[in-house]
């Protein structure tokens, strides 16, 4: 196990050069993560630890806290709609932007623009678009004879409205899909065309398998994003009406900063982490059959 | 030669500058930092003028004011700063959350400062205000402004439907009838105008609960009583209104409007609204032509005039670097001088007994109505779960008007959730 002097020197130098990152990681990531795990077993106001409660916070959350269940349900509802819908919208946009038309770069820019607008500002604009009396959305619906709902004021619609709004940011994912679409070798399509394959078959048997690693990446990132949905509810609805948009992270935030229950909020954060981890593992395991990496034997 | 002269001149200049700054450092006043989340006008600039007045009034401390993000119950900025040891010396908090922040360890106990100053705040402030500032016998904040609530109504609307604009509804039954008369429908479920949306403006759970004669908290036994039959009845009344007009229709209609220029009361979309005294200032700017009246909140017979008061308070966060300077400023701003400026410029009401009769401070005679409400004004329970209780009551009200829970069930559930949190802190 002996190291030569040169190896030792290299190790020290290596560590020294990596030190800024190591220190930053330990101080600003590892320590806070470990501390929040500890806090999750305590009653912690954010300033003082007033008691050690073991798994008390977790038990309270899982067995007694009605709002916790509601917030988890709201987030899962959002996730189960926003992830598939986001995927379909982004892929459709990407395929449209992959068409060989002259001014396509203008469209690409337009589709991406929403991503550079802060979610905060966009939420306010959407509040106006979705205004039940004077909003553009209901105005358009009225032209075709539909009296639109109170998008964010009606508890039956509020979550779905936020799902729809999220599609406004689909341009970012569309760009990633577009890049992967352009990576699919032309020769595969040419061969298929020689064999007389239809457009659907080319999509199903060439495009989808070839971009499947990117789809997996998208789904996992979208799941993470959906578990953490916060901003639109924080700004547009404040969790209402009737707690119908009280998402998991919004409830966590309230516990931490409005109610002085930082310990409970830490426990919620850890449970969310475990939930996201398990979901990701399931997706990774079950996706092995669908995802094709080039060069891989099948 | 010329260069040489210039060099000498520079040396003299630098030396002079150093001497001046040295003298400045010796004579410099102690810094006091003051944070508020009042970013709107005229509140913000009025606070600034109180700071200026304080800085001019003495030569020991220099207060610097900063507007920070936050709201009535959202003090994330304060909490993280205090935890990191970078909090301010003075923070303007919503007074009814004093107990909550004190229990969370975010505030400095002011009692020693008060005793050292040989001062009795109980003599200076209105009882409800100093009660809100006190937890477990210790004073944690100094009461600043206050406000009360009333029913605003549009006189022309009353005339239009044949009601006497000088005889606004006084009881809940009268109110229910008048609401119906004033409502104008486009179709069965679309409105051109609603008489009143009970939960709009300041029509909170507390407002109607008290108007029905209920009590939310039993101080002697430290028990929440939000399932008081009168409060249950007030929720049931709101559910009836929701049912009668259609909750989706009302909420859709209500959410179409905003504040200021989009105010539904100014636009004539609601004929009546429960609101606070600050609305007078807004009406003056955005609806100067509007002929409106102000009257007591309608109540159940025998309950008597009802209103409730809120307001803010000056607190010293824990870890304040200059607590003595902070207390000095807090006492000045929340004292007669600061409150007189604030009352005159913002038309909020004072919490200082000596200023309560000063109608000359009020910009508009209509404020007198609100000032007159202070002696019988109720205030929210001074408990360390004030913010939680508020959010839970709001959610309960939403459940009830949306038909998700019965009033009894919703309010029982509030007690279930909040009483245990309260007990932990007693």
CB B104 to CB A134 under 8 A? Answer: no
Torsion angles phi and psi, residue B191, rounded to 5: -115, 145
Which tokens is B37 given? 């989340």
Tokens 């038909």 belong to B403
CB A242 to CB B79 under 8 A? Answer: no
Q: Distance (Å, rounded) from C-alpha B72 to C-alpha B386?
A: 11
Q: Give yes or no: residues A130 and A195 share one domain.
A: yes
**Alpha helices (runs of H) in A98-169, residue ranges in sequence order:** 104-112, 119-129, 136-143, 158-166
- In chain A, the residue whose alpha carbon lies closest to the alpha carbon of B417 is A65
Which tokens is A177 given? 């899909």
Are B65 and B34 spatial neighbours (Cβ–Cβ below 8 Å)?
A: yes
Q: Give yes or no: residues A39 and A153 share one domain.
A: no
Q: Distance (Å, rounded) from C-alpha A165 to C-alpha A128?
A: 12
Would you place residue B1 in the very low, low, confident or very high pLDDT band (cuts 50, 70, 90)?
Answer: very low
Q: Give yes or no: residues A137 and A256 share one domain.
A: yes
Query: In B, which residues are within 8 Å of A240 by CB distance?
Result: 394-395, 398
Question: Cis ω on the peptide bond leading into residue A241 (within 30° of 0)?
Answer: yes
Q: Give yes or no: residues A277 and A148 share one domain.
A: yes
Q: Give yes or no: residues B241 and B345 share one domain.
A: no
Residue A225 counted as domain residue: yes
Q: Give yes or no: residues A245 and A144 share one domain.
A: yes
Q: Give yes or no: residues A22 and A75 share one domain.
A: no
- ipTM greater than 0.90, yes or no? no
Q: Residues A226, A231, A232, A236: what is their CA dihedral angle, to the nearest 10 degrees?
A: 150
**Alpha helices (runs of H) in A248-291, residue ranges in sequence order:** 248-253, 262-287
Q: Give yes or no: residues A42 and A112 share one domain.
A: no
Q: Distance (Å, rounded) from C-alpha B274 to C-alpha B234?
A: 15
From the list B79, B101, B252, which residue is nearest A150 (CB)? B252
Full-model pTM: 0.84
What is the residue range of A190's domain? 66-287
Query: Treating both helix axes as pointing N-terminal to C-terminal, what angle do B247-255 and B229-245 enclose, rounded to 10 degrees?
Result: 80
From the list A45, A150, A257, which residue is nearest B248 (CB)? A150
Q: Give yes or no: residues B296 and B261 share one domain.
A: yes
Residue B10 counted as domain residue: no
Q: Residues B36, B39, B42, B46: what is their CA dihedral angle, to the nearest 10 degrees?
A: 30
From the list B79, B253, B394, which residue is nearest A46 (CB)? B79
Rg (CA), chain A: 24
pLDDT tens digits, one per residue of B331-360: 999 999 999 999 988 878 999 999 988 888
Q: Give yes or no: residues A144 and A205 share one domain.
A: yes
Query: Which residue of A47, A131, A158 is the best one to mutate when testing the B interface, meaning the one whose CB has the most B CBs within 10 A?
Result: A47
Residue B191 counted as domain residue: yes
Residue A296 counted as domain residue: no
Q: What is the CATH number of the domain that holds A280?
A: 1.10.3720.10
pLDDT tens digits, one per residue of A103-145: 888 998 888 998 888 888 888 888 888 888 788 888 898 888 8
CB A259 to CB B255 under 8 A? Answer: no
Helices and strands (H, E) in chain A, number of each type: 15, 2
Residue A270 counted as domain residue: yes
- CA–CA min distance B211, chain A (Å): 23
Q: Give yes or no: residues B282 and B202 share one domain.
A: yes
Are B132 and B143 spatial neighbours (Cβ–Cβ below 8 Å)?
A: yes
Which tokens is B131 given? 């009660």
Q: Give yes or no: residues B330 and B248 share one domain.
A: no
Split into its structural domains, chain A has a count of 2
Which tokens is B74 given? 């959202």
Mean pLDDT (whole number) for A153-173: 89
Q: Distance (Å, rounded) from C-alpha A244 to C-alpha A71?
A: 8
Which tokens is B161 given? 């439907």
- CA–centroid distance for A210 within its chain: 23
CB B100 to CB A134 under 8 A? Answer: no
pLDDT tens digits, one per residue of A179-189: 999 989 999 99
Using a pLDDT cut of 90, give the percent of chain B over it.
Answer: 70
Which of these ranges, A38-42, B295-299, B388-392, has the smallest mean pLDDT?
Answer: B388-392
Q: Distance (Å, rounded) from C-alpha B319 to C-alpha B61?
A: 18
Rg (CA), chain B: 25
A–B CB contacts, 8 A cutoff, strictly below? 91
Q: Give yes or no: residues A197 and A226 share one domain.
A: yes
CB B256 to CB A134 under 8 A? Answer: yes
Q: Distance (Å, rounded) from C-alpha B334 to C-alpha B343?
A: 11
Q: Distance (Å, rounded) from C-alpha B182 to C-alpha B264?
A: 14
- CA–centroid distance for A126 within its chain: 19
Residue A101 counted as domain residue: yes
Burial code (b: 16+ CB inside 10 Å, e: under 16) for A125-143 equals: ebbeebbbbebebbeeeee
Residue A298 counted as domain residue: no
Q: Give yes or no: residues A23 and A155 share one domain.
A: no
Q: Distance (Å, rounded) from C-alpha B303 to C-alpha A207?
A: 73
**pLDDT for the residue B375:** 86
Closest CA to A90 of A287, A224, A222, A205: A222
From the list A149, A241, A253, which residue is nearest B398 (CB)? A241
Q: Give yes or no: residues A241 and A115 share one domain.
A: yes
Q: Distance (Å, rounded) from C-alpha B246 to C-alpha A154?
A: 11
Residues of B engaging A, defined by a Cβ cutoff of 8 Å: 73-76, 79-80, 82-83, 100-101, 103-106, 190, 248, 251-256, 318, 385, 387-388, 391, 394-395, 398-399, 402, 404, 413, 417, 421, 424
Q: Give yes or no: residues B333 and B226 share one domain.
A: no
Q: Give yes or no: residues B131 and B234 share one domain.
A: no
- CA–CA min distance B76, chain A (Å): 5
Residue B303 counted as domain residue: yes
Residue A179 counted as domain residue: yes
Closest CA to B368 of B376, B379, B360, B377: B360
pLDDT tens digits, one per residue of B171-212: 999 999 999 999 999 887 789 999 999 999 999 999 999 999
Q: Give yes or no: residues B90 and B186 share one domain.
A: no
Query: In B, which residues are within 8 Å of A243 by CB distance?
Result: 395, 398-399
Query: In A, which residues are within 8 Å of B100 by CB distance?
Result: 259-260
DSSP secondary-structure letter at B352?
Answer: B
Residue B15 counted as domain residue: no
Which tokens is B342 given? 């604030």
pLDDT tens digits, one per residue of B65-116: 999 998 888 888 999 999 999 999 999 999 999 999 999 899 999 999 999 9
CB B82 to CB A241 under 8 A? Answer: no
Are B89 and B320 spatial neighbours (Cβ–Cβ below 8 Å)?
A: yes
Q: Distance (Å, rounded) from C-alpha B131 to C-alpha B126?
A: 9
What is the residue range of B41's domain? 26-147+310-376
**pLDDT for the residue B410:** 96
Q: What is the CATH number of the domain that holds B98?
A: 3.40.190.10
Q: Distance (Å, rounded) from C-alpha A27 to C-alpha A12?
A: 21
Residue B222 counted as domain residue: yes
Distances (CA, A) of A11 to A2, A24, A26: 13, 19, 19
pLDDT tens digits, one per residue of A235-251: 888 887 888 999 999 99
Split into its structural domains, chain B has a count of 2
Residue B3 counted as domain residue: no
Are A247 and A272 spatial neighbours (Cβ–Cβ below 8 Å)?
A: no
- CA–CA min distance B395, chain A (Å): 5
Are B109 and B332 spatial neighbours (Cβ–Cβ below 8 Å)?
A: no
Q: Give yes or no: residues B300 and B318 share one domain.
A: no
Q: Give yes or no: residues B165 and B123 share one domain.
A: no
Which tokens is B72 given? 């009535």
CB B388 to CB A258 under 8 A? Answer: yes
Q: Give yes or no: residues A120 and A36 share one domain.
A: no
How many C-beta atoms surround the C-beta of residue A63 within 10 A?
A: 9
CB A241 to CB B104 under 8 A? Answer: no
């Amino acid at each position: 196990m002996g190291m030569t002097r040169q190896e030792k020197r290299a190790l020290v130098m290596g560590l020294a050069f990596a030190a800024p990152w190591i220190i930053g990681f330990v101080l600003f990531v590892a320590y806070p993560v470990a501390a929040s795990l500890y806090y999750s077993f305590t009653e912690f106001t954010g300033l003082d630890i007033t008691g050690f409660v073991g798994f008390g916070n977790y038990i309270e959350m899982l067995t007694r806290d009605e709002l916790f269940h509601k917030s988890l349900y709201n987030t899962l509802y959002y996730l189960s709609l926003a992830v598939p819908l986001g995927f379909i919208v982004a892929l459709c946009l990407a395929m449209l932007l992959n068409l060989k038309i002259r001014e396509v770069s203008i469209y690409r820019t337009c589709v991406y623009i929403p991503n550079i607008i802060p979610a905060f500002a966009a939420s306010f604009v959407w509040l106006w678009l979705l205004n039940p009396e004077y909003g553009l959305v209901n105005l358009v619906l009225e032209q075709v004879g539909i009296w639109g709902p109170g998008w964010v004021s009606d508890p039956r619609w509020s979550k779905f409205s936020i799902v729809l709004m999220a599609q406004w940011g689909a341009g970012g994912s569309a760009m990633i899909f577009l890049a992967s679409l352009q990576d699919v070798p032309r020769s595969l399509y040419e061969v298929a065309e020689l064999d007389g394959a239809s457009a659907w078959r080319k999509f199903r048997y060439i495009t989808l398998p070839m971009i499947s690693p990117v789809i997996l990446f998208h789904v996992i990132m979208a799941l993470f994003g959906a578990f953490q949905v916060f901003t639109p509810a924080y700004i547009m609805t404040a969790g209402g009406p009737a707690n119908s948009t009280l998402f998991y992270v919004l409830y966590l935030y309230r516990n931490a900063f409005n109610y002085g229950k930082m310990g409970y909020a830490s426990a919620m954060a850890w449970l969310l982490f475990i939930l996201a981890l398990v979901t990701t593992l399931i997706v990774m395991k079950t996706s092995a059959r669908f995802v094709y990496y080039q060069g891989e034997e099948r | 030669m010329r260069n040489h002269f210039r060099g000498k001149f520079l040396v003299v200049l630098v030396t002079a500058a150093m001497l001046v700054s040295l003298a400045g450092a010796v004579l410099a006043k102690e810094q006091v930092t003051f944070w508020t989340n009042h970013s709107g006008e005229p509140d913000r600039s009025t606070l600034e003028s109180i700071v200026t007045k304080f800085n001019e009034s003495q030569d020991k401390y220099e207060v610097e004011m900063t507007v920070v993000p936050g709201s009535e119950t959202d003090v994330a900025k304060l909490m993280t700063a205090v935890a990191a040891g970078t909090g301010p010396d003075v923070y303007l908090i919503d007074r009814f959350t004093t107990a909550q922040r004190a229990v969370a360890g975010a505030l400095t106990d002011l009692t020693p400062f008060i005793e050292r100053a040989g001062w009795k705040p109980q003599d200076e402030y209105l009882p409800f205000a100093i009660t809100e500032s006190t937890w477990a016998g210790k004073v944690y904040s100094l009461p600043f402004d206050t406000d009360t609530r009333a029913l605003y109504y549009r006189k022309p609307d009353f005339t239009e439907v044949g009601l006497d604009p000088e005889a606004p509804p006084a009881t809940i039954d009268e109110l229910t009838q008048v609401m119906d008369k004033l409502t104008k429908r486009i179709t069965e479920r679309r409105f051109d105008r609603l008489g009143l949306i009970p939960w709009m403006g300041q029509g909170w759970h507390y407002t109607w609960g008290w108007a029905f004669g209920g009590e939310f908290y039993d101080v002697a036994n430290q028990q929440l009583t939000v399932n008081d039959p009168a409060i249950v009845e007030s929720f049931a009344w709101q559910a009836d209104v929701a049912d009668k007009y259609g909750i989706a229709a009302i909420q859709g209609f209500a959410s179409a409007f905003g504040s200021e220029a989009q105010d539904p009361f100014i636009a004539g979309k609601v004929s009546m609204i429960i609101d606070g005294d600050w609305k007078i200032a807004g009406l003056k700017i955005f609806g100067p032509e509007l002929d409106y009246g102000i009257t007591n909140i309608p109540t159940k017979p025998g309950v008597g005039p009802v209103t409730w008061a809120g307001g803010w308070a000056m607190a010293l966060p824990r870890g304040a670097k200059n607590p003595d300077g902070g207390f000095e400023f807090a006492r000045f701003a929340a004292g007669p001088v600061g409150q007189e400026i604030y009352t005159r410029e913002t038309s909020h009401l004072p919490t200082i007994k000596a200023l309560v009769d000063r109608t000359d401070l009020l910009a508009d005679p209509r404020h007198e109505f609100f000032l007159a409400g202070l002696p019988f004004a109720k205030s929210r329970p001074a408990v360390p779960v004030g913010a939680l209780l508020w959010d839970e009551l709001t959610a309960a009200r939403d459940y009830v008007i949306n038909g998700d829970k019965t009033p009894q069930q919703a309010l029982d559930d509030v007690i279930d959730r909040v009483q245990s949190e309260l007990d932990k802190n007693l």
